[in-house]
Chains A and B, each alone.
Chain A
Amino acid sequence: MRANFIFSEVWIGLRRNLTMTIAVIVTVAVGMALLGVGMMINSQVSKLTGFWTDKVELSVYLCTKNAPFEPCKNKGAVTQEEKATLKQTIEALPDVERVQFENQAEAYKHFQETESNRTLLSVTKAEDMPESFRVKLKDPDKAAAVAASLKGQAGVSNVVNERDLLESVFGFMDKLRYMALGIAALMLFAAILLIGNTVRLSAYNRRRETGIMRLVGASNIYIQLPFVMEGLIAGLIGGVLSGVILIIVKVFIFESIQTYMAAPLGWDTVAGVITGTMAIGVLICVLASFVTLRRYLRV
């Protein structure tokens, strides 16, 4: 097998239908990038889920002096006795792993760390912050039942299941992921058709050469290899481009939302995703060329 001969044939083929080759490359690049984004969202979500399932807590907020919540109205701030009974009640619940008390100073500190609205920061004082019990559950799925039982207790203003907040974020990411994967599937489909068309054009352009190759007894592999290589090279270039797009997505999108995510997506994951999408892209291109060749290049 003469490598330089094959490569010169491949080069001629790619150059002869340059526009189609570019179309294939762009389609593969975009399709693979979307697939990669889908995979990245996927691993981000599973990472976050793992991270938060460990940390998810029930926040049992207690009444402050002027709390606007219904159970606190006309009652004033929570009393020391109420706090003590509440603590005992919570600790007595079978599903509770541990309870932590957060006083106003701590709450204010957390608030200052996480809130970015300057006006709100400047007008909020430590006395405005509610005290709370942070309840860690043995089984996060029991959260709803525990929350319901604590809601009516004296001195409790509100019970927030942090998981409910996360759920909406996860739901949004899930939608993003399915959208990315759906578009990726469409792009892949388009890529397959485009490659088929390119190979068909290529086979037509080179029918003289292939006809002579057949006559003088070139083996099937030798006749088909230049066409398959065309698909492979287009797929490879498209794959590299999609890798670049994925790196850009990681740097500019995932990195910037990382502040809210707590569980950052590592470069090792990104590298894995890029390798995976490139492999899929090349494989699809090669398979598509091969299948079309069977139809348009009689051997």
Chain B
Amino acid sequence: MIHFDNVTKVYANQNRPALDHVSVDVDKGEFVFLVGPSGSGKSTFLRLVLKEERPNSGSIHVAGKDLSKLSNFKVPHLRRRIGCVFQDFRLLPNKNVYENVAFALEVIGKPRRFIRKVVPEVIELVGLEGKAHRMPEELSGGEQQRVAMARAFVNRPMILLADEPTGNIDPATSIGIMKVLDRINRTGTTVLMATHDAAIVDSMRKRVVELEDGKIVRDQSRGVYGQAY
């Protein structure tokens, strides 16, 4: 599903590569934690999957497509197959829960009838039934992140990227978030989650890929966050 082959990324005006000859394979339906200290290249990895950045060398395949051969014109179609969740939720403050989720479908031109059908389903899946007409500011951090996950998942993507989704949320609420991610993973969606949260990684017992200074230092199935922490 995601295939990195010897990928190196050096940002302009920087000497040290953000990713240094990284090769990794993520299969369909896998749940993978991407761990490592800040600046180790986790976010760069996710941005490369979205083709927000281009690698300096190496090749990347996502959902069977070679990203270097994907024209800019087709990048939006790639992104429709990838859902994204962030630490800061990125909800639209002037739209309610329903509208925030529906926005993702409206802007890719889905018919209204389809939107009316699937949006309530997804809101229920993330556990926000009855809160469809709340505004983001009326929700807790955990609930806002659920809205963001509903928006990321509403178009049934093949891959869900989560960049520290529990970074702004207390540990008790984080468990609920992880349950939703697990539920999404069980529908067959590949989940790739970058995180600092050792407790979550240790409790989930999923595959762990650890980055340090842009290099993969550990790739372990059913792993933990790491002895060093």
Residues in A lying within 8 Å of B, measured CB to CB = 1-2, 5, 208-209, 211-220, 222-223, 299
Cβ B92 vs Cβ A212 within 8 A: yes
Please name all residues of chain A whose beta carbon is closer than 8 Å to the beta carbon of B112 when the two chains form the complex: 2
Question: Within 8 Å of chain A (Cβ to Cβ): is B2?
Answer: no
Cβ B90 vs Cβ A218 within 8 A: no
Nearest Cβ on chain B to A221's Cβ, whole angstroms: 9
Would you mind naming 22 contact pairs between A and B with Cβ atoms under 8 Å apart? A5-B106, A5-B107, A208-B92, A209-B103, A212-B90, A212-B151, A213-B107, A215-B90, A216-B79, A216-B84, A216-B103, A216-B108, A216-B155, A217-B76, A217-B78, A217-B82, A219-B76, A220-B72, A220-B73, A220-B76, A222-B107, A299-B75
Chain B contact residue count (CB 8 A cutoff):
25
Please name all residues of chain A whose beta carbon is closer than 8 Å to the beta carbon of B180 when the two chains form the complex: none
Known: A216-B151, A217-B80, A299-B72. A2 touches B106 (CB 8 A): yes
Please name all residues of chain B whose beta carbon is closer than 8 Å to the beta carbon of A218 when the two chains form the complex: 76, 107-108
Cβ B78 vs Cβ A2 within 8 A: no
Please name all residues of chain A whose beta carbon is closer than 8 Å to the beta carbon of B93 when the two chains form the complex: 208
Question: Within 8 Å of chain A (Cβ to Cβ): is B22?
Answer: no
Closest to B81 in A: A217
Cβ B79 vs Cβ A215 within 8 A: yes
Please name all residues of chain B whose beta carbon is closer than 8 Å to the beta carbon of A2 when the two chains form the complex: 106, 109, 112
Cβ A212 vs Cβ B103 within 8 A: yes
Cβ A215 vs Cβ B92 within 8 A: no
Q: How far is the CA of A214 from the CA of B47 in the complex (A)?
A: 13
CB 8 Å contact bits of B62-98 with A (1 = contact, 0 = none): 0000000000110111111111100000101100000
Question: Within 8 Å of chain A (Cβ to Cβ): is B104?
Answer: yes
Cβ B108 vs Cβ A217 within 8 A: yes
Please name all residues of chain A whose beta carbon is closer than 8 Å to the beta carbon of B84 when the two chains form the complex: 215-216
Nearest Cβ on chain A to B131's Cβ, whole angstroms: 20
State the 6 A-B residue pairs at the shortest beta-carbon distance, nearest first: A217-B80, A217-B79, A218-B107, A216-B104, A217-B76, A213-B107
Closest to B112 in A: A2
Closest to A212 in B: B90
Given contacts A216-B107, A216-B151, 20 further A-B contacts (CB under 8 A): A2-B106, A5-B106, A208-B93, A209-B103, A212-B92, A212-B104, A212-B107, A212-B151, A215-B50, A216-B79, A216-B84, A217-B76, A217-B78, A217-B81, A217-B82, A218-B76, A220-B73, A220-B76, A223-B107, A299-B75
With most chain B CB atoms within 10 A of its CB, the pick from A212, A216, A222 is A216
Q: How far is the CA of A209 from the CA of B151 in the complex (A)?
A: 13
Q: How far is the CA of A64 from the CA of B175 in the complex (A)?
A: 116
Nearest Cβ on chain B to A298's Cβ, whole angstroms: 9
Known: A216-B151, A216-B155, A218-B108. A211 touches B90 (CB 8 A): yes
Q: How far is the CA of A211 from the CA of B86 in the complex (A)?
A: 12
